[in-house]
Amino acid sequence: MRRIRFWGTRGSLPVALTAHDVRRKVASALRDASGRAFASDGEIDAYVDGLAFDVAGTYGGHTSCVEIETGDADYVVCDLGSGLRPFGQAAIARHGPASPQTYHLFVSHLHWDHIMGLPFFTPAYIPGNRVIFYGAHTGLESALRRQMEPPSFPVPFSTFGASISFVHLEPGRPHDVAGMRVTLKRQNHAGDSYGYRFEKNGRTVIYSTDSEHKLADSDESAGFADFFRDADVVIFDAMYSLAEATSVKADWGHSSNIVGVELCQLARAKHLCMFHHEPALDDAAISRVLAETRRFEEITRTGTPLKVSTAYDGLEIRL
C-alpha cells in the first residue's frame, strides 16, 4: 500500500462552509496581516501557507469516503458517502472515461451518510467499468437499490452501465481481495457496522468508523487493540468528546478522541487519524480537538510516540 486519500470525513450528514464562515476566516487572516507588505504573489502564498489550517483551509464537508492506493491498477475505496462523487470525478480525470477501470468498494454499514454518494458515482454509469461492492451486511444490495427507487431518486439502480457485483465478507476471518488481506470486525453501532483491517506488503491500514467503545469492558478494548495491532494508520471515529460519548450521547454509536488514543497506544499503532467529524463543529473547533488530543497523547505516552492527525477532505497520508 502506498497512500490514503480522504474524499469525505464528516459524520451523519454533509455540511458546507457558509458565507459567515468564509467572512470570519478572511477577517482573521487580514487581522494577522496587519502592518505587513507583500511585494509579490509568492510572498502572499508564503503568508497564507503560514496561517493556521482552520483559517487558511477547511476540514471539509463531505461524508465518509476514503481511498487506499494499493500500488495496483484497481481502485480501493471505503464507504460511499457524498465524497464518492469527487472521488469518481478524479478517477475519470486520471484515466479518461474510455479507459475501463475496476473499483473495489468496501461498505462499513448501511446508514444513509455512508451510501448517499453512490447515485452520483459517475464511473458506475460507464460501460466497461467493473464495480464490486464488499460488506458483511446481507442487505447490502437491497439497501443500495432502495435509495435509488422512486420517490427517493429519479434514476434507478438498473441504469448503471458498469458491471456490478456484490461480495459478502464474513467477519472474523481473513479474505484475499484486490491483492490485500482483508479482515472485518463487528462494531457497536445501530444496525451493526464493521471495521476493516487491510494488509499488504508489510503495511496495515485500519478503517474503523461508527463504532462505540465501552470503557468499562476490558475484553472489548482488548479485542479492538488486537484488531488495531501494529497498524501503520488507524482511521478512527472520533465524533464526540469523551464527556459526550459517556453521558448525553452514550449509546449513539460513536467514539471519542480520548478512546482513540488509548486503543492505539494499547495496540502499538503508529498513527491515529481522527475521522467522522461532528457536523456541528466548525474548523476552529476541530482544530482545538486535535490540539487537545495531541496533548493527551503526550502526557499519557509510555513508549513510542503515537502520531495524531485529523482527517480533512483532500488529505493524503503516505504509507
Q: Residue 238's domain is classified under what CATH number? A: 3.60.15.10
pLDDT for the residue numbered 244? 64
| Contact (Cβ atoms closer than 8 angstroms) between residue 67 and residue 1 | no
* Per-residue confidence band for 18, with pLDDT thresholds at 50, 70 and 90: very high
Among 22-31, 139-148, 175-184, 212-221, where is mean pLDDT lowest? Answer: 212-221
Q: With a cut of 80, say whether residue 42 has pLDDT above it.
A: yes
Mean pLDDT, to the nearest integer, of 195-215?
A: 93
Q: With a cut of 60, say whether residue 245 has pLDDT above it.
A: no
Number of structural domains found in the chain: 1
Residue 40 lies in a domain: no
Q: How far apart are CA 219 and CA 199, in angstroms?
A: 24
Q: With a cut of 90, say whether residue 25 has pLDDT above it.
A: yes
Eight-state DSSP code of residue 96: -
Q: How far apart are CA 65 and CA 107, in angstroms?
A: 10
DSSP H stretches of helix in the chain: 19-32, 41-49, 53-56, 84-95, 140-146, 218-227, 242-246, 257-267, 283-300
pLDDT for the residue numbered 250? 61
Residue 44 lies in a domain: no
Find, among 291, 306, 274, 117, the residue nearest to 209 by Cα.
274
Residue 28 lies in a domain: no
What share of the chain in percent tops pLDDT 90? 87
pLDDT for the residue numbered 247? 55
Mean pLDDT, to the nearest integer, of 225-253?
A: 78
Residue 47 lies in a domain: no
| Contact (Cβ atoms closer than 8 angstroms) between residue 226 and residue 267 | yes
Q: How far apart are CA 6 and CA 315, in angstroms?
A: 5
Mean pLDDT, to the nearest integer, of 159-179?
A: 97
Q: Give the global pTM.
A: 0.94
Mean pLDDT, to the nearest integer, of 124-137?
A: 97
Residue 41 lies in a domain: no
Please write the tens of the pLDDT for every residue from 60-109.
999 999 999 999 999 999 999 999 999 999 999 998 888 999 999 999 99
Three-state DSSP state, 32? helix
Q: With a cut of 80, say whether residue 251 has pLDDT above it.
A: no
| Contact (Cβ atoms closer than 8 angstroms) between residue 109 and residue 194 | yes
Mean pLDDT, to the nearest integer, of 266-292?
A: 95
Residue 214 lies in a domain: yes
| Contact (Cβ atoms closer than 8 angstroms) between residue 85 and residue 119 | no
Residue 84 lies in a domain: yes
Residue 29 lies in a domain: no
Q: With a cut of 70, say whether residue 48 has pLDDT above it.
A: yes
Q: How far apart are CA 307 and CA 310, in angstroms?
A: 10
pLDDT for the residue numbered 274? 96
Q: With a cut of 80, say whether residue 31 has pLDDT above it.
A: yes
Write out the residue range of the structural domain in which residue 228 sits.
Answer: 3-16+56-318
What share of the chain in percent tops pLDDT 70? 96
Quickly tell me which residue has 452501465 as its cell.
161
Mean pLDDT, to the nearest integer, of 134-154?
A: 96
